[in-house]
Amino acid sequence: MEDEQRANLERVSREDHEAKSALWAAKADYYPEKLVELGLKSIDRFVQYHPNPSRLMKMGITFGHRDLESVADAMANNKPWAVVSGLNPSGPLHFGHKQVFDELLWLQQQGADVYIPITNDESYVVDKAKSLGESRKIAYEQVIPSIIAMGFSSEKTHIFVDSDYPDIYNLAMDVSKHLSLNRVFGVFGFGQDEEGENPGTVFYRGAVQIAQILLPQLEEFGGPKPTLIPVGVDQYPYILLARDIARKKGLIPPSAIFTKFTHGLDGQGKMSSSRPASTISLTDEPKSAQRRIRGAYTGGSVLASFQKEHGGVPGVCPIYTLRTYHFEEDNRVWDQCSNGEILCGQCKGAATEDVVKYLTDHQEKLVDARKRIDEFILKTPIKSILK
Amino acid sequence: MEDEQRANLERVSREDHEAKSALWAAKADYYPEKLVELGLKSIDRFVQYHPNPSRLMKMGITFGHRDLESVADAMANNKPWAVVSGLNPSGPLHFGHKQVFDELLWLQQQGADVYIPITNDESYVVDKAKSLGESRKIAYEQVIPSIIAMGFSSEKTHIFVDSDYPDIYNLAMDVSKHLSLNRVFGVFGFGQDEEGENPGTVFYRGAVQIAQILLPQLEEFGGPKPTLIPVGVDQYPYILLARDIARKKGLIPPSAIFTKFTHGLDGQGKMSSSRPASTISLTDEPKSAQRRIRGAYTGGSVLASFQKEHGGVPGVCPIYTLRTYHFEEDNRVWDQCSNGEILCGQCKGAATEDVVKYLTDHQEKLVDARKRIDEFILKTPIKSILK
């Protein structure tokens, strides 16, 4: 009977391992293929020549770019350059956001002025918030303190909540003249969710987002300069649109770096607030994060002996990505897992230790961060486009 | 030979008179038919019961309304009510605008708080200005001083230039959620001028305009109140849209009064800055206005004797509308013209006298008005929708 049970578990483990391996085989080439398909460049050369590339770049998590050259030139020659990375405030920051902000922090340390639009208007018009007020509250109470606590410099960080910086809409109106509705629909789609489409969504996606990207190049912020946007590959058409509008306005076409997504702990795609089981928020109780990691999907097997012999499948494992995207300095976990040297329990233990330490530290820093919000808020009125 | 010439002139006069009469016969029922078609009410009852109706109402130039009852109630009982009338600043005010502002002035004298959005964003996105700055300049230099010079009270007049009051865009984003793109296209059309369609136009027409209408009902302006919008009949679908959104937001559906248009002096339709020969601007040199009146199209004949016998056709005559819409207290000119009692020369003389007097007086008042702009500018931040 025990033999029969064991045989069953062996069979389940084998089938599961085969399924996970097949899934990974299907996904492994996604990002390399995207580079070729979209004509992007690999980050490898930049990593090779930069004296101190970011951890995410060295790990290949920030894996590609478009026109990083213009930014690299400004970086190397101490000329002004900027980074813009927006965020729609529908809840506290999670590790998916942390990944982006880790990269922003490195970019700031290389000299970038970092602009962070908190797009509470987007949250509202795309139905992620009941009112502008609700998403605005989340911005100040949950999002901005976490950004500050991550260690950004108040000198070189410019945060604005869209509804509290409505000057951005003047720039959006200005930008809008260089766009047609058909073009916006071409880039962002239309009609997939007709009920949700409203004039605000179209204006937000087409014009306000572009305005946010071009903002650092206005006269009040020192005029035209290389600007870098960290995005996912699915957002490339939108970068192309922004580059085109920049040219039409006599500005420098913005550059982009492309990053992989932090996986959700539920194994169902990228980490997202819309699937609470997929996330660890930066404001989660360490105990709750620990429980969530314990219950997470992995690339391993039900049978330890099987996994020791055949290894796990790190490519589909959110614990693997949690560790390597956020804490590891090299990729040795990949081999350790693939070779069956470490099992999921150990890996989850290591992840828990790192996450709990990070959360405890972050939450301590939040106390001070909450008092410093005003230092980080962009208040410069936009006048140059009204001349 | 003289007889032949005279016969020719008689024939031309007759043909011209017949053509003008036919034109008027085709146009005479336009406004009465619109009342029936759109289910609007005639202004007659209001004129009958109000102790002191406006000159334009008594003359039937403001001829119909939708839900004027709720406003009349506030008017009679000294409760707060508002009027909103926007204007896109593409040049100086002309007599077409003056007609609207004459009515606004009367409404203010009856107790209304008058809100005047100067929509320089509209001028820009619909291609009537090269930049937001250009239309903004026109607003402050040419439009606002003329409004002030017309005698509005700074206490009860709230003027804002859209790009200098970007809080209006927060309200527009808020409003936008109650709209769908299809609905906006249904009301305002789409695709007639695809080149001109951009996300800003759609956002402006669908959301910003509605926001302007609902603004006086926000908490910071005293909360829900009857609001009156003076419009042309072609804008009725848009009033219906505003009424619907108001209901969805728990506000009072805005009312509307409908006015006829001041004819252009060229006889080619309503007075419009886009056809300079059609207009008299409030900042025109009196001499230039005089010349333009002298050259204006009329409802009269080339042959004085013919016109004395058969009369003119005041219904198609811009000089008739100029006099009655702007200066006369009754409609006796209609009969005088139709009966052949007065000829075009006399009529143009009377119009010139009135216009020159008006322009001279207005331009004197402009000197002081230019110094008082700030008193009239709305500065109240919109906070209630961000709570």
Instruction: Classify residue A134 by its DSSP letter.
Output: H
Q: pLDDT tier at A367 (50, 70, 90 boundaries)? A: very high
On the question of pLDDT at A75 being above 90, the answer is yes
Is residue B323 in some structural domain? yes
Length of chain A measured in residues: 387
Cα A354 to Cα A44, A61, A326, A349, A367: the distances in Å are 28, 19, 9, 9, 21
Shared domain for B48 and B182, answered yes or no, is yes
Shared domain for B190 and B201, answered yes or no, is yes
Q: How many domains does chain A have?
A: 1
Cβ-nearest to A203 among B132, B174, B200: B200
Is residue A235 in some structural domain? yes
Q: Which two tokens stand for residue B140?
A: 């402050």
Q: Are B229 and B254 in contact (CB under 8 A)?
A: yes
Task: Write the burial class of residue B126 (CB in 10 Å: 0-12 exposed, 13-18 middle, 19+ buried).
Answer: buried
Instruction: Classify residue B234 by its DSSP letter.
Output: G
Contact A121 B177 (CB under 8 A): no
**What ipTM did this prediction achieve?**
0.90
Contact B386 A173 (CB under 8 A): no
Burial A291-322 (b: 16+ CB within 10 A, else e): ebbeebbbbbbebeebbeebbbbbbbbbbbbb
Q: Identify the pLDDT of residue A322.
A: 97
Contact A173 B132 (CB under 8 A): yes
Nearest-neighbour CA in chain A from B317: distance (Å): 39
**Does A195 contact B at CB distance below 8 Å?**
yes
**Chain A residues touching B200 at Cβ < 8 A:** 172-173, 176-177, 179, 203, 207
Shared domain for B339 and B306, answered yes or no, is yes
**Does A245 contact B at CB distance below 8 Å?**
no
Is residue B333 in some structural domain? yes
Q: Which two tokens stand for residue A37?
A: 């398909």
Which residue in this structure is represented by tokens 């578990």?
Answer: A9
Shared domain for B216 and B288, answered yes or no, is no
Contact A176 B198 (CB under 8 A): yes
> Which tens digits make up the pLDDT trace of A248-263?
999 999 999 999 999 9
How far apart are alpha carbons B337 and B21 in whole angstroms? 13
Is residue B387 in some structural domain? no
Burial A340-358 (b: 16+ CB within 10 A, else e): bebbbeebbebbbebbbeb
On the question of pLDDT at A191 being above 70, the answer is no
Q: pLDDT tier at A193 (50, 70, 90 boundaries)? A: low
**Does A179 contact B at CB distance below 8 Å?**
yes
**Chain A residues touching B131 at Cβ < 8 A:** 174, 385
Contact A180 B198 (CB under 8 A): yes
Instruction: Assign residue B321 the CATH number of its domain.
Output: 1.10.240.10
Chain A residue with minimum CA distance to B184: A199
On the question of pLDDT at A22 being above 70, the answer is yes
Q: Mean pLDDT over all residues of chain A?
A: 94
Contacts of B298 (CB under 8 A, 6+ apart): B312, B317, B318, B319, B320, B344, B347, B348
How far apart are alpha carbons A117 and A104 in whole angstroms? 13
Shared domain for B49 and B122, answered yes or no, is yes
Strands (E) across A339-381 are located at: none
**Chain B residues touching A248 at Cβ < 8 A:** none
Contact B133 A170 (CB under 8 A): no
Q: pLDDT tier at A2 (50, 70, 90 boundaries)? A: confident
Chain B (130-149) residues lying within 8 Å, Cβ to Cβ, of chain A:
131-133, 136
**Does B170 contact A at CB distance below 8 Å?**
yes
Rounded CA Rg of chain B:
22
Contact B180 A197 (CB under 8 A): yes
Q: Percent of chain A beyond pLDDT 70?
A: 98
**Does A177 contact B at CB distance below 8 Å?**
yes
Shared domain for B93 and B228, answered yes or no, is yes
**Across the 387 residues of chain B, what is the mean pLDDT of every consecutive 10-residue run?**
85 94 94 94 95 96 96 95 95 96 98 98 92 96 98 98 98 94 78 65 93 98 98 92 96 97 92 90 96 96 94 97 96 96 97 98 98 98 95
Question: Closest by alpha carbon to A177, among A210, A129, A200?
Answer: A210
Contact A163 B173 (CB under 8 A): yes
Cα A293 to Cα A289, A313, A317, A352, B302: the distances in Å are 6, 17, 12, 7, 94
How far apart are alpha carbons A325 and A262 in whole angstroms? 7
- The three-state secondary structure class of A65 is strand
Shared domain for B297 and B229, answered yes or no, is no
Is residue B67 in some structural domain? yes
Contact B385 A124 (CB under 8 A): no
**Chain B residues touching A124 at Cβ < 8 A:** 173-174, 177
How far apart are alpha carbons B257 and B187 in whole angstroms? 19
Shared domain for B89 and B64, answered yes or no, is yes
**Chain pair A-B, CB pairs under 8 angstroms:** 134
Shared domain for B150 and B281, answered yes or no, is no
Contacts of A36 (CB under 8 A, 6+ apart): none
Q: Identify the pLDDT of residue B183.
A: 83
Contact B198 A182 (CB under 8 A): no
Nearest-neighbour CA in chain B from A244: distance (Å): 15
> Which tens digits make up the pLDDT trace of A199-251?
999 899 999 999 999 999 999 999 999 999 999 998 999 999 999 999 999 99
Degrees to nearest 5, angle at CA B141 with B97 and B266: 35
**Does B386 contact A at CB distance below 8 Å?**
yes
Q: Identify the pLDDT of residue B212.
A: 98
> Given phi > 0 = left and psi -120 to 50 = alpha, else beta, which region is A46?
alpha
> Which tens digits make up the pLDDT trace of A323-333?
999 999 999 99
Contact B170 A132 (CB under 8 A): yes
Q: Identify the pLDDT of residue A190.
A: 61
Question: Closest by alpha carbon to B121, among B163, B85, B175?
Answer: B163
How far apart are alpha carbons B60 and B54 in whole angstroms? 10
Is residue A87 in some structural domain? yes
Instruction: Assign residue A160 the CATH number of its domain.
Output: 3.40.50.620
Give me the mean pLDDT over the A174-183 stretch. Answer: 89
Shared domain for B244 and B282, answered yes or no, is no
Q: Are B105 and B150 in contact (CB under 8 A)?
A: yes
How far apart are alpha carbons B28 and B30 in whole angstroms? 6
Nearest-neighbour CA in chain B from A66: distance (Å): 26
Residue B329 forms beta bridges with which residues? Answer: none
How far apart are alpha carbons A353 and A105 in whole angstroms? 23
Q: Which amino acid is at A17?
A: H
Chain A residue with minimum CA distance to B204: A199
Residue A229 forms beta bridges with which residues? Answer: A256
Cα B191 to Cα A207, B185, B186, B202, B290: the distances in Å are 19, 9, 11, 11, 41
Is residue B55 in some structural domain? yes
On the question of pLDDT at A33 being above 80, the answer is yes
Instruction: Classify residue A94 by its DSSP letter.
Output: B
**Does B206 contact A at CB distance below 8 Å?**
yes
Residue B160 forms beta bridges with which residues? Answer: B117
Give me the long-range contacts of B135-142 (CB less than 8 A, separation at least 24). Answer: B135/B88, B135/B89, B135/B90, B136/A386, B136/B89, B136/B161, B136/B163, B136/B164, B138/B89, B138/B90, B138/B91, B138/B92, B139/B89, B140/B373, B142/B89, B142/B91, B142/B92, B142/B93, B142/B283
Task: Write the burial class of residue A218 (CB in 10 Å: 0-12 exposed, 13-18 middle, 19+ buried).
Answer: buried
Residue A116 forms beta bridges with which residues? Answer: A159
**Chain A residues touching B166 at Cβ < 8 A:** 166-167, 169-170
Shared domain for B124 and B163, answered yes or no, is yes
Shared domain for B237 and B270, answered yes or no, is no
Is residue B175 in some structural domain? yes
Q: Are B131 and A385 in contact (CB under 8 A)?
A: yes
Contact B386 A132 (CB under 8 A): yes
Q: Identify the pLDDT of residue A287.
A: 96
Full residue range of the structural domain in which residue B198 is found: 31-263
Q: Which amino acid is at A354?
A: D
**Does A172 contact B at CB distance below 8 Å?**
yes
Contacts of A58 (CB under 8 A, 6+ apart): A47, A329
First and final C-alpha spacing in chain B: 85
